[in-house]
Amino acid sequence: MDELRELYQQLILDHNQNPRNFREIENYDFHKKGYNPLCGDQLEIFINIKDDIISELSFTGMGCAISKASASIMTETLTGKSLSEANLLFKQFREMAMNGKITDGLPLKLSVLSGIYKYPSRVKCALLAWHTMHQSFDTQNIVDAKTE
């Protein structure tokens, strides 16, 4: 159970049960649907930008504890960050989720998901919100975490 406890830390369980920024933003600047074909889960990301800074970031949808907690923590982490900071964090987080590598400067809060790489079929869960956020700037179509 120890490994599992590590995967589902208290923080994850908490964010799963009480997800932050779990709502639709009215008059959003960007919006995107994300879909995980492995499980059928979907979530939506809403973003407002002011002066190149993410002023508001929220999400809605269904998903597993990992995906919900990851989305919730992401919204907390990225609100107030610039787009280029968000982009960097996305890359660092993806690196950690896929390979377990923690880059200096990655906010501590994100490292609760550092063990996910040991569960290959769950990596997409952790990345779903991040991918959706990341790609929302490109097009307005549905995206997914397929490329991992």
Determine if 71 is a binding residue for ligand FES (CB under 6 A).
no
CB nearer ligand FES, residue 29 or residue 148: 148
Touching another protein, residues 7-26 (CB under 8 A):
7-8, 13
Distance CA 35, CA 58 (A): 16
Determine if 61 is a binding residue for ligand FES (CB under 6 A).
no
Sheet holding 41-50, edge to edge: 53-61, 41-50, 30-36, 143-144
Q: DSSP labels for 4-16?
A: HHHHT-HHHHHHH
Touching another protein, residues 60-89 (CB under 8 A):
62-66
CB nearer another protein, residue 4 or residue 108: 4
Quote the radius of gyration of the chain (alpha carbons, Å).
14
Question: What are the C-alpha distances in Å from 92 to residues 14, 26, 61, 103?
Answer: 23, 30, 25, 6
Distance CA 74, CA 67 (A): 10
Touching ligand FES, residues 19-38 (CB under 6 A):
36
Site of tokens 């997409």: 124
Determine if 125 is a binding residue for ligand FES (CB under 6 A).
yes
Out of 97, 123, 125, 127, the only residue in the binding site for another protein (CB under 8 A) is 125
Determine if 120 is a binding residue for another protein (CB under 8 A).
yes
**Which partner in ligand FES, another protein, none is near 128 (CB below 5 to 8 A by kind)?**
ligand FES
